[in-house]
Amino acid sequence: MVADSHAVVSDLLMGGNGQALVAVEGLTKRFPVSKSLFRQASSFIHAVEDVSFSLAPGESLGLVGESGCGKTTVGKLLVKLIEPTSGQISFRFPSPDAGSGEAVDASTIRSADLRAFRRQAQMIFQDPYESMNPRRTIYDTIAEPLAVQGVGHLTDRVDRVTEILTQVGLTPAGSFLFRHPHELSGGQRQRVAIARALVIGPSFVVADEPTSMLDVSSRTGIMTLMQNLAQGLGISYLYITHDLAVARYMCHRIAVMYLGKIVEMAETEELLGNPLHPYTRALLSAVPVPDPTYRRDRPDIRGDLTLPINPPPRCRFYDRCPVATDHCRDNPHPPMEEHGPGHWVACYEA
């Protein structure tokens, strides 16, 4: 039976972890397809639709799904690079004294308060080749957040940049300070990007596929580094990825996203060992197996990703679902139901 909608959202926000550091409720983002000076847009891309989840202090949540499902849009919304169409994003960052402070709605943050928000919420971008100014030195790149926040004097900033370079494994740090991005490898650039995000000591970091642009030999080192930093610094990650193997290694919980909707969410091992949504099962069946003699059936879904422009109110996965029924077609997108402790699924047939 479906629980009361407010109770469902409350349980999702707590996630079984008590007081949340970040809590997202009903988050929605729609982009107009076309509009003009004299006519309002009538068609919208439903990039993110009614998304709710939470992260506890020190927790990592993996957001997985195929390209175009809205993962990166969620990340940008959480760090206020773009504004939501509707919904609430609550942050409960540590207070200057001790413990957690009061919850703040990110949609109400403006001007001077935005600077304080940026100090606690940062983002690591996917492409280490495009996310840095090629004309600036590594020191300038990493020290910029300190300068914007007015942290320390010049000597203090040099010491802090040197310290964070050592923490991310770029040693001796002094030999990297005045290099430029083109002098570094891809893995080294991503370590610089991580250092830039962490140099001001944030509590929450959105990591947008930070290993997808790297070769296999660099990925393991970056993932291990991020785990160690999370444990040592008490950082909460929203880890965006399309790779379930990476999500399993990096995250405490996984949320599966399809066409702007979260369709399943659970603790990592529970979700991977007991997938209930047909889309989650299809994703798992597509994971490569390191055995050339192993043969498996192709994922039992049909067609390509449905266009997100003014989608019908029915289940977003209906057109591709192997178990869809007339009930799925004739009713709104299914609400999230709890099918086990902390295991939430949006599917009428689960």
pLDDT of 245 reads: 87
Beta strand pairing call for 261-267 and 343-345: antiparallel
Q: What is the pLDDT of residue 3?
A: 44
Average of per-residue pLDDT values in the chain: 87
Structure tokens at 174: 């002094």
Model confidence band, residue 17 (pLDDT cutoffs 50, 70, 90)? very low
Tokens of 285: 């069946």
Q: Which residue has the higher pLDDT, 285 or 341?
A: 341
d(CA 227, CA 262): 25
- If you average pLDDT over residues 95-116, what whole number do you get? 73
Q: What is the per-residue pLDDT for 172?
A: 93
Residue 289 to residues 75, 79, 101, 212, 293, Cα–Cα distance (Å): 30, 36, 46, 19, 10
Average pLDDT over residues 293-308: 76
What pLDDT does residue 162 have? 95
- Residue carrying structure tokens 């469902």: 8
Signed CA dihedral, 73, 77, 80, 86: sign only = positive
The CATH classification number of 57-80+113-258+265-288+295-327 equals 3.40.50.300
Residue 9 has pLDDT above 60, yes or no: no
Does 202 have pLDDT greater than 70?
yes
3-class DSSP string for 22-35: EEEEEEEEEEECCC
3-state secondary structure of 322: coil
**Is 102's pLDDT higher than 90?**
no
Lowest model confidence (mean pLDDT) among 32-41, 72-81, 282-291 = 32-41
Taking only the tens place, the pLDDT of each residue in 240-262 is 998 888 899 999 999 999 999 99
Neighbours of 168 (CB within 10 A): 25
How far is 325 from 88, CA to CA, in rounded Å? Answer: 33
Q: How confident is the model at residue 126 (pLDDT cuts 50, 70, 90)?
A: confident
- Weakest-pLDDT range from 9-23, 128-142, 224-238, 266-280: 9-23
CA dihedral 312, 3, 23, 43 (to 10 degrees): 10
Nearest-angstrom CA–CA distance, 169 and 147: 23
- The model's confidence at residue 46, banded by pLDDT at 50, 70 and 90, is very high
d(CA 86, CA 80): 13
pLDDT at 2: 41
Please choose, from the candidates 225, 29, 27, the residue with its C-alpha nearest in 3D space to the C-alpha of residue 124.
Answer: 225
pLDDT at 6 over 90: no
Q: Specify the pLDDT at position 289.
A: 78
Name beta bridge partners: 263. Answer: none
CB 12 within 8 A of CB 344: yes
The residue with tokens 């919980």 is 253
Q: Give the neighbor-by-neighbor strand order of the sheet with 22-32.
A: 44-55, 22-32, 86-91, 104-105
- Peptide bond just before 278 cis, omega within 30 deg: no
Name the 3-class secondary structure at 199: coil
Per the document, the length of the chain is 350
Q: Which residue has the higher pLDDT, 221 or 5?
A: 221
User: What is the structure's pLDDT at 11?
Assistant: 55
H-run or E-run covering 73:
helix 71-78
pLDDT for the residue 1: 39
* The pLDDT of residue 128 is above 70: yes
Band (pLDDT 50/70/90 cuts) for residue 37 is: low
> Using 50, 70 and 90 to split pLDDT, how confident is the model at 295?
confident
**Which two tokens mark 141?**
């790149």
Tell the residue number behind the tokens 């960052």, with chain if given: 93
Question: Alpha-carbon distance 72 to 70, whole Å?
Answer: 6
Q: How far apart are CA 128 and CA 125, in angstroms?
A: 7
DSSP character string of 161-182: HHHHHHHTT--SGGGTTT--GG
- Residues of the chain with pLDDT > 90, as a percent, come to 55
Q: What's the CA angle centered on 108, arms 141 and 115, to 5 degrees? A: 25
Q: Are 47 and 260 in contact (CB under 8 A)?
A: yes
Tell whether the model's pLDDT for residue 342 goes beyond 90.
Answer: yes
